[in-house]
Structure 1
Amino acid sequence: MKKLASTLPNMILSLGIITIASGALLGWVYSITKEPIALQAAAQQQAAIAEVAPAFDNNPEADKWETEINGVPFTVYPAYDDGKLVGAAVKGSSMNGFAGEITVMCGFEADGTVKDYRVLQQAETPGLGTKMEPWFRDPAGARSVIGKNPASTSFFVTKDSGGEIDGITAATISSRAFLETMRNAYEAYRNYEKNKSN
């Protein structure tokens, strides 16, 4: 017992030194990786905007407009060509995925028709919910949202009353979250148009 009592302070000291050293090392790694990670994320976002929005000659990032739809933040990156609004990329998310948050960059033509989209973040079930990136542009059945307009097509899964989009097989929750994000992104885009016309 005396031996344990005499070694206890040394053990506490050793653990304290290890904890401090580990914390310092983690802080150092974070400081050197923070900027490259932020630059990579910014580059990926700019690429996603360019991929999903109609051709533009402005800087959508500089012209971005933020709003909230049902308490969730959405960012509209308007696309202008020769001073005329030709559409937008809209970044938004849903917390209602099977594994939590999904984030999508949604691209719209001037009239609100879906031009394209990119899934930026998701943690859905591999082989099921993760299929959302290719699934909703697949022309088979009523899967694709490309070329459809939420004003005239019901962006709900066909399993739900009135839904007109085929959900991912065995991944209905993921499908609902994706389509919720698309609907809300469309609403954010329309809100941007109304705000700009006032």
Structure 2
Amino acid sequence: MEKLKSSLSNMVLVLVGFAVVIGAVLAWVNHITEDAIAAKAEKTLAEGIKEVMGTSQLQVKEPKTVNLTLEGKPAVFVIHEATDNSGKALGAAVESTTQGFGGDLKVLVGFNPDGRILGYTILQSSETPGLGMKAAQWFQKGGKGNIIGMSPKDGALTVKKDGGQVDAITASTITSRAFLKAVNQAYDVYAQNSVDAESGASKHEKE
């Protein structure tokens, strides 16, 4: 058998063949793992909704996606309206994303029917690991920047450095501002798209 001659064209063919094989393997691995990844993300979100709403005894309606343009950029929010087992409105958990210090900061915020914050959790953070963990606890009940029980309905939540009422994470004002911005935007979307607890009609339908 004649030995394959070493030439540029032959080397290119070998590299192309190698790339095709690697691409096929990666596509196969992605195919067999995507369902597991999706299932894990769905479970994480379901647990997050229970956490931010403050109860596991709830029923969650089909999510409502709201697409907006904010500051010239597309923004996507997802509203998960919840009721108790008897059908009484509990409020909603809202997914909201803003630009943090290191990248996207995605939070899930729970609101009661009056717009007060029941809880929150960080779904995605591109901040440094230590900072991301700190943000996950700083604004919780008992934390220095506790926002639980507050409502952006009474005025946008801002850090004290900007004349607001919330203590910023130590040496991390940018992350704190991004977090509060995500919460404020989540509330605005919730207030404009939520179902009225008394009438059962959305604000849009009432207008």
TM-score range, shorter chain: 0.7 to 0.9
- The residue identity in structure 2 corresponding to 1:195 is H
Q: Which runs of 5+ in 1 are unaligned?
A: none
Query: Which letter does structure 2 place at the counterpart of 1:67?
Result: V
Say if 1:130 and 1:173 are closer, same or farther in 2 by CA, change over 3 A.
Answer: farther
- The aligned amino acid for 1:123 is S
8 Å Cα contact 2:92/2:111 also seen in 1? yes
Work out the CA distance in 1 between the residues paired with 2:32 and 2:143.
Answer: 46
1:40 aligns to what SS in structure 2? helix
| In 1: Cα distance, 2:206 partner to 2:35 partner | 38
SS of equivalent residue, structure 1 residue 74: strand
Which among 119, 123, 128 is matched to residue 125 of structure 1? 128
RMSD of aligned Cα (Å): 2.0
- Give the corresponding residue for 1:91: 95
Q: CA deviation at 1:139?
A: 2.8
Q: Secondary structure of 2:154's match?
A: coil
Q: Equivalences for 1:92-171 in 2 at 5 Å? A: 92-94=96-98, 96-141=99-144, 143-152=145-154, 154-160=156-162, 162-171=163-172
Q: Is the 8 A contact 1:106 1:116 kept in 2?
A: yes
In the alignment, which residue of structure 1 is the partner of 2:82?
79
In the aligned structure 2, how far is the partner of 1:17 from the partner of 1:151?
60
Deviation at 1:178, TM superposition (A): 0.6
Q: Does 2:69 correspond to 1:67?
A: no
Partners of 1:139 and 1:48 in 2: how far apart? Answer: 19
How far apart are 1:37 and its partner, in Å? 0.5
Is there any run of 5+ residues in structure 2 with no aligned partner, and where?
195-202
Cα offset for 1:145?
A: 0.8
Give the Cα separation in 1 of the matches to 2:181 and 2:100: 10
Deviations 1:96-132 (A, max 9, x none): 2011111111011121111111100001023235411
Tell me how far apart the structure 1 counterparts of residues 109 and 148 of structure 2 sit (CA, whole Å). Answer: 10
| Structure 2: distance between partners of 1:6 and 1:34 | 40
Sequence identity of aligned pairs in percent?
38
List aligned pairs for 1:15-34, cutoff 5 A.
15-34=15-34
> Following TM superposition, by how much is the alpha carbon of 1:9 offset from its aligned partner in structure 2, in angstroms?
2.7
User: Post-superposition shift, 1:54?
Assistant: 5.0
TM-score, normalised via structure 2 length: 0.83
What is the number of residues matched between the two proteins?
Answer: 189
Shift of residue 180, structure 1, vs aligned partner: 0.5
How far apart are residue 163 of structure 1 and its match?
1.3
Alpha-carbon shift at residue 184 of structure 1 (Å): 0.7
